[in-house]
Structures are given as C-alpha cells and as structure tokens.
Structure 1
Amino acid sequence: MKWEEFIRITANMPVIETQILLAGISNPAPDKVQISRWQKSGKLIQVRRGVYLLAQTYRKSEFYEPYLAGLLKRPSYISLEKALEHHGLIPEAVMVYTSVTTKRPGRFLSPVGTFDYRHIKDSLFWGYNSVTVNRQTAFFASPEKALLDLFYLKRVPASLEYLQELRIQNAGKIDLGKLVTYAERFQKPGIMEFVGILEKHVSSSAHKEKTL
C-alpha cells in the first residue's frame, strides 16, 4: 500500500486500528511493515500495538481522547478522578485517563496521553453513561459511581480530611439518593461509612455554594 492510498482511506478516521484496516487482505504482512516504517518516519503516531493516529499534518478528523481510552481496553469506562474532573466536581486538571474494566489492569504510555486501567468485578461494572463527540462515543462513570469507585479501588480513607483534599465543587450535581442506592450494591464493609461522611460533606458544600 502506498502512502497516498493509505491517506485516502484513513484521513477521516480519528483512530486507525490495523486489525480493521487490514481485514480481508490475504497477506497483510507487507502492509504491516509499511505501517511500521511510516510510524518511524513520523507520519503515524503509535498509541499501542495495532492502534495509530495520523500525524497532525495529515489528520482531517481530530480524535477524542476519552474515546481512545475506551478503545484501548474493552469493556471499560472512565472513572475516579478523571470522571470527577469531567463532571466539574474537582478543580484540578487530571492528566491520566483512569478507566475501570472487567479485564486485566494495565497502563498504556503514549505520545498522546497516559491511560490507566483498574480491574473491577463484573457485578460492579455499571453506573456509567455515554458521551459522543465528533461521532466518537466514550463512557464516563456518573458522579456517584466515580466517587464510589474511587473509595473502592484506591482504598482511600473514609474521612472528612480526605474529602476536603479532593476539594469537591458543584456538589449539587451529586444525587445523594442515587449515591446511597449505588453504595448498597457494593456490599462492602466501610463503604456506607464513607457515604455517610460524603453525604454530610456534599450537603454542607452544596449549602455553601447556594449562599455564595
């Protein structure tokens, strides 16, 4: 495959998956070698094996980083601090895309970002919604599930001090009824204690925000 043909096929693809691109080709080995050469020459950016982006010069369609996070490991959804940032619940910019998956945990370091994956059991893989940007669909934990995933997966302390360190803002976005319902589904000792402290903190924060 020549570069001109490759560009014609992929220019409008935000993310290039070689498994899909080369499907149906009886002998894809020469094309894989050529793709590797283009990557080494800077025409392609390798995110991980088999997943590439066109260099900015050749790209007609911008990729959506949350979509890329979901593509690198399926099934998965973005959660923990990155989801809290997405919902506007914490002020800090979170550079690492942390996702939850039922598959093996892992981390991908790439030129376009760091993608971290935490394992969760099948029975707790829920509480997320889809977001579509430029025809690229990503999945984010709801505010309530992101907070519970944070406590469950990072084993953070059930303390007011920790919640104050998070600097939760826009607390009105958190549905306290849903938070309790979700917490009960975890059936984990300590999580209801965390929720109790979180409820008080959220209620207090929401009241302060209304009076400002």
Structure 2
Amino acid sequence: MNKKDFILEIYKDSRTVFRLSGIAMMFPQEESKYLSERLGYYVQTGRLLNPRKGIYAKPEYNPLEFANLLYTPSYISLEYVLQQAGIIFQYDSRYTSVSYLSREIEADNKRYNYRRIKEEIIMNNIGIIRRDNINIATPERAFLDMLYLSKDFFCDNIHSLDRPLIDRIIPAYQSVTLEKRTFQLLKNGRYQ
C-alpha cells in the first residue's frame, strides 16, 4: 500500500474519530512504529487532528463521536439530550454522557462531562440508539438518567416524553425510589 492509500482509507471510513488501536486494525500489515510516524506526519500537515493522546480525528470530526470514544462504554445523555429534545430550556454547551466514571475534560475548545452510573445500567441498551457511530440516549432514557443521578433535577417540559417507553426503560435502574419519583412527576405533569 502506498502512502496516499493510507490517508485515503482513513478518510473513506465512516468514522470521524479513531483510537490508534482502531487505525492499526485497519492496517494490520503495517508496523506500529511506521503507523505512529505516519499519523504524526498527518497531524503535522493538518490532514488529521490529535485532540487527545492516542486519539486521531478527521478535521471536521463529530464531537459526539469523540465523546463516545474517549471513555468506553458510554453514551450521550443527560443535559445534552434533554436540551436537544426541549425537555429543559437552559443552555449548556457541554457534551454530557454517562459512563463508568465521572470526569470533566476539555479538548479542542469543547467541554465534555461524564457522570458515573452503575455498569449494569450502562450495559442495558434499551432507550439507547446507535446511529452514525454514536451511542445516544432517547429523551426518555436521558430523563431517567437525570432523575437517577440528580435529586435536584428540574425539567421544563415533560409532555413530549413517551410514557410507555419510560415504563420499559425504568426496570434497568432497579430503583424503587426512582420509580416513585418518576411516577409522581408524570402524574403531576411537572417536576417540583
């Protein structure tokens, strides 16, 4: 394979963000030293970005895909999803996710926030959609994640939530307290 094919293959891939190990799997015949040198060259020439150690991205990479790749397993949820769905109106520029750890990082002038949740909850994929290389919660899943993680959570508009979907997702949390809070909130039509 010539050097042109190397970057071409990366650009042909539908993913916009890669770990070094993922790129190595694309080119199993290449030695790791050569691979690292080529990636370094592509970063120096602006053909790839290196937003975090061991992570490479196309120049117009998707920050949601980066958020998923940075800590695995994780999925986009919480304020980001609820804001996009019109459940909360307060603007927050962070990309919020749930994962196996709590972290707040900045990369490429973007803020990423991870909240820790039990691994059994993360691994239950009901209410999580996989599209365009991104794992993202439905508004109902993000709503339940917020209620589970934050006692002081306030939402502006819950009327668009799919209540039968909430009923299917809620057993994943194995929390009687969450079930009571959710039932009360949905019964009243607002959170107090």
TM-score class, shorter-chain normalisation, is 0.7 to 0.9
Q: Which string of whole-angstrom CA distances, capped at 9 and with x for unpartnered residues, describes residues 131-168 of structure 1? A: 52xxx232222323212211222x333xxxx53xx322
Corresponding residue of 2:182 = 195
Counterpart residue type for residue 174 of structure 1? L
* Residues 142, 174 of structure 1: alpha-carbon distance in 2 compared, 3 angstrom cutoff: same
2:156 aligned to 154, 167, 172, which one?
Answer: 167
* Residues 16, 184 of structure 1: alpha-carbon distance in 2 compared, 3 angstrom cutoff: closer
Distance in 1 of aligned mates of 2:30 and 2:7: 21
SS in 2 for 1:116: strand
1:137 aligned to 133, 136, 145, which one?
Answer: 133
Q: Percent identity?
A: 23
SS in 1 for 2:133: strand
Q: State yes or no: 1:21 paired with 2:16.
A: no
* Residues 148, 95 of structure 1: alpha-carbon distance in 2 compared, 3 angstrom cutoff: same
Corresponding residue of 1:10 = 10
Assess if the C-alpha contact under 8 Å between 1:47 and 1:112 holds in 2: no
| Pairwise CA distance, 1:99 | 1.4
| Pairwise CA distance, 1:81 | 0.9
- Name structure 2 gaps, 5 residues minimum: none
Q: State yes or no: 1:88 paired with 2:89.
A: no
Computing the radius of gyration over CA atoms, which structure comes out larger, 1 or 2?
Answer: 1
TM-score of the two chains, using structure 2 as the length reference: 0.73
* Residues 148, 106 of structure 1: alpha-carbon distance in 2 compared, 3 angstrom cutoff: same
Q: Which string of whole-angstrom CA distances, capped at 9 and with x for unpartnered residues, describes residues 101-151 of structure 1? A: 2x333344211633322222233233323252xxx2322223232122112
Distance in 1 of aligned mates of 2:111 and 2:190: 34
RMSD of aligned Cα (Å): 3.2
The total of aligned residue pairs comes to: 185
Corresponding residue of 1:109 = 106
| Pairwise CA distance, 1:83 | 1.6
TM-score of the two chains, using structure 1 as the length reference: 0.68
Distance in 1 of aligned mates of 2:185 and 2:29: 55
* Residues 131, 28 of structure 1: alpha-carbon distance in 2 compared, 3 angstrom cutoff: closer
* Residues 18, 184 of structure 1: alpha-carbon distance in 2 compared, 3 angstrom cutoff: closer
